[in-house]
Amino acid sequence: MNAKKRIKPEDQYQLKSVTDPQLSKNGYDCIYIETTMCEEENTYSSHLFYINTNQPAETQQLTYGKGRNLAPRWSPDGSQIAFVSNRNNEVNQIFMLSMNGGEAKQLTNEPNGATNPIWSPDGKRIAFQSTVEKENLPEKNKDKPEPVEIERMKYKSDAKGLWSGDYQHIGVIDIASGEREWLTTGEQDYYLQCWSPDNQSIALLADLATDKDHSFNNDVYILDVGSKQMENMTKGVASFSHVSWSPDGKCLGLIGSKSTYKNASLSKIWTLDVFSGELTCLTEEWDVQVGDYVVADFHQSANASQILWAEDSSSFYFLASDHGNTVLYFGTVEGAMYPALLEERHHIYGVSTGGTIDKAIVAISTPTNPGDLYLLNVTSGEKTRLTNINQAFFEETAVADAEVLQYQSIDGWELQGWLIKPINHETREKYPLIVEIHGGPHTMYANTYVHEFQVLAAEGYAVLYTNPRGSHGYGQAFVDAVRGDYGGKDYEDIMTAVDYVLEYDEGIDRERLGVTGGSYGGFMTNWIVGHTNRFKAAVTQRSISNWISFYGVSDIGYYFTDWQIKGQLNDIEKLWKHSPLAFVERVDTPLLILHSENDLRCPIEQAEQFYIALKHHNKQAKFIRFPQANHELSRSGHPNLRMKRLHYIKNWFNQYI
């Protein structure tokens, strides 16, 4: 029998991603998205697929051609699908497709595109989100660049670049006439959430504070579609997201946080009585993070954040991040919360119920499977596989599983990590180890597929990845423990993991260790090479090196630095104390620096400073700059750059380890 092939970076061109399942109200029709990378066009292709869950062996592709087709949403009667597509140009618009066949019909033609289609319950209208430019802006001419006038602190974002005088607004289009009407206007941002069951109102999110540069709360508003009058329902109690209306129209389900611990605060489930205005936190005492906070490098367009009401209007489903898993939970308005699907190792990154209480479609990834769809019978717990989209690839390609590790920190915290052993490790006497560090820091590694880890395992490396303090999934105290202590106990947690795994697995060559990470993981990689020489090579990605300059150059710098380091510019000593640049003279580890030119989250000047300082002190360093890429390079950047990034990482480790 022929041996299986080993995974390489370019295999991502062959692998398919399945995301955003949407179950119809009839309980058996399901739409989902398949996404692939296109090597020749150097872009992504996403298409809608249909599956009848009563006949899962049969699937039907609904969209074709180039471009991306995303966010499919069933009409209330199940006869039509609204979706987002850039098929006619580079701007996303809303289209509608009949399940009886025929071509998709374009519904919107907004200059800056349209997204987030939401059907009115009577099926006559679709609300959508669009970017609307401020009135009286000068006409843009790409051949005549104009100065950018800035008067706000929130003037750029890693996702959108420099703010150009536009705002997020909500429109609604009449299906029969094709007429569009704006529900919101003015120099404010409004974010569409859901319709009321009686078709009369829309729930939206907005921050209408006068000083938005120092405001970080989104309130929930109810907008009367006819009069366009809005009422603030939450009045600054907390910052909310992901609003969903109960089927009986009496209640809103919300995800929100009082931000007691700034961006390290756990998200909670709330309900809002629409008529009395009573706001209730259902999970106040629950020490679990609501939502999917897993970090990986494979899926795009995953969408599973809001609570999903059942038809009884008193129960619902939601996801929570818990000890390296995302778990599907069942909840009630009385405050009962218990798992609806709890398995030993899985990452649920998509869920849809169609409004029922007895079944759900779940998208699940594991360390050895990028992801597939399953039909869950909630009552019996029985799970039926609906897709196996990468079966052919994995029948001929080897993949390495991950072992879960449990160990203790120096000061007694329970810690979790994973070890992937290299492919065919039993044939080697000793094998090197790469330590991977996630970003955030308030995300978590999990029981999910990460292509980068598989590439390294195929190259003959063991891969250790862990959740040090600051990670989600282990309670409020744990996720908050990193704030004000970057490079302290979090660094010790990672070194403890290394010590533990060297004792746990005698096959690891303790003299051949490497380390890498991105964003916060890049900060920690920079910190590690300035505080220990035990690693033979390191790769720092989209990193932070200097908290003093980060304060003013990052799109989030002025508040993130305060929240995370607990230091302002009047405390230069503290900011410098936590800056890896301060320890550059100690670095003896060969360091590869990977950074995107358009990264506004951790701007490239952070890499430039570290690189120049290293070279000035005659250290072994190499700097790779990725054009036309931002902070999301490893997850959604140009496919060719994603491939080159993986090659740079493995080649650097191959050279020095």
**pLDDT score recorded for residue 424:** 81
Q: How confident is the model at residue 541 (pLDDT cuts 50, 70, 90)?
A: very high
Instruction: Assess if residue 494 is contained within a domain.
Output: yes
DSSP 8-state code for residue 267 = P
Give the dihedral of Cα atoms 300, 301, 305, 310; nearest 10 deg: -130
Average pLDDT over residues 197-215: 97
pLDDT at 302 (0 to 100): 73
The reply to whether 165 falls in a domain is no
Whether residue 156 lies inside any domain: the answer is no
Amino acid letter for position 460:
G
Residues β-bridged to residue 132: 167
| % helix, strand, coil for the chain, step of 5 | 20, 35, 45
According to DSSP, the residues that pair with 98 across neighbouring strands are: 80
- Six-digit token string for 338: 């218990």
Residue 85 in any domain: the answer is: no
- Any domain includes 652: yes
Task: Give the range of the structural domain holding residue 649, as residue numbers without chain letter.
Answer: 398-656
Q: Is the pLDDT of residue 384 over 60?
A: yes
Active-site residue (options: 24, 471, 519, 545) = 519
Burial 38-56 (b: 16+ CB within 10 A, else e): eeeeeebbbbbbbbebeeb
Residue 58 has what pLDDT?
82
What integer pLDDT is reported at residue 510 of this predicted model? Answer: 96
**pLDDT at residue number 426:** 74
- Residue 68 reports pLDDT greater than 70: yes
Q: Is the pLDDT of residue 428 over 70?
A: no
Check whether 464 has a pLDDT greater than 70: yes
pLDDT band for 136, please (50, 70, 90 cuts). low
617 is catalytic: no
172 vs 125: CA distance, rounded Å: 7
pLDDT for the residue 164: 86
Q: Does a structural domain hold residue 498? A: yes
- With respect to residue 247, please indicate whether it lies within any of the assigned structural domains: no
Question: Which of 50-64, 376-390, 624-638 ranks highest by mean pLDDT?
Answer: 624-638
Q: 357 or 415: whose pLDDT is higher?
A: 415
Q: Is residue 643 part of a domain?
A: yes
Residue 146 has pLDDT above 80, yes or no: yes
The pLDDT-based confidence of 48 (bands split at 50, 70, 90) is very high
Q: Residue 196 — pLDDT band, cuts 50, 70, 90?
A: very high
- pLDDT exceeds cutoff 50 at 97: yes
- Provide the pLDDT for residue 436: 98
Domain count, the chain: 1
- Residue 1: pLDDT band (50, 70, 90) is very low
Q: What is the model's pTM? A: 0.96
CB burial of 419-453 (b: ≥16 within 10 Å; e: otherwise) equals bbbbbbbeeeeebbbbbbbbbbbbbbbbbbbbbbb
* Arithmetic mean of pLDDT, 439-460: 97
What single DSSP character describes residue 13? G
Percentage of the chain with pLDDT > 70? 98
Residues 364, 374: contact at Cβ < 8 Å? yes
Place 427 in a pLDDT band, splitting at 50, 70 and 90: low
The β-bridge relationship of strands 591-596 and 621-626 is parallel
Per-residue pLDDT, averaged over 449-467, amounts to 97
3-state class of 66 per DSSP?
coil
The answer to whether the CB of 421 falls within 8 A of the CB of 462 is: yes
CATH number of the domain that 445 lies in?
A: 3.40.50.1820
Q: Which of 346, 438, 578, 631 does the annotation list as catalytic? A: 631
Question: What are the tens digits of pLDDT across the range 292-326?
Answer: 999 999 987 777 779 999 999 999 999 999 999 99
Interatomic CA distance for residues 467 and 444, integer angstroms: 6
Residue 50: what pLDDT?
A: 97
pLDDT digits (tens, 9 = 90+) for 69-81: 999 999 999 999 9
Segment among 171-180, 300-309, 625-634 with least mean pLDDT:
300-309
pLDDT (mean) for 551-565: 98
Alpha-carbon dihedral of residues 489, 495, 497, 499, nearest 10 degrees? -140
Task: Look up 519 and say whether it is catalytic.
Answer: yes
Whether 456 has a pLDDT exceeding 60, the answer reads yes
pLDDT above 70: residue 565: yes
Q: What is the pLDDT of residues 24-45, one digit of tens each?
A: 999 999 999 999 999 999 999 9
Produce one character per residue of 599-632: b if its CB has 16 or more CB atoms within 10 Å, e if not: bbbbbbbbbebbbebbeeeebebbbbebeebbbe
At residue 70, the pLDDT reads 96
Average pLDDT, the chain: 95
| Cβ–Cβ under 8 Å, residues 526 and 544 | yes
In sequence order, the 6+-apart residues with CB closer than 8 A to the CB of 194 are 118, 202, 203, 243, 244, 245
Tell me the pLDDT band of 144, cut-offs 50, 70 and 90. confident
Supply 631's token pair: 């902070």
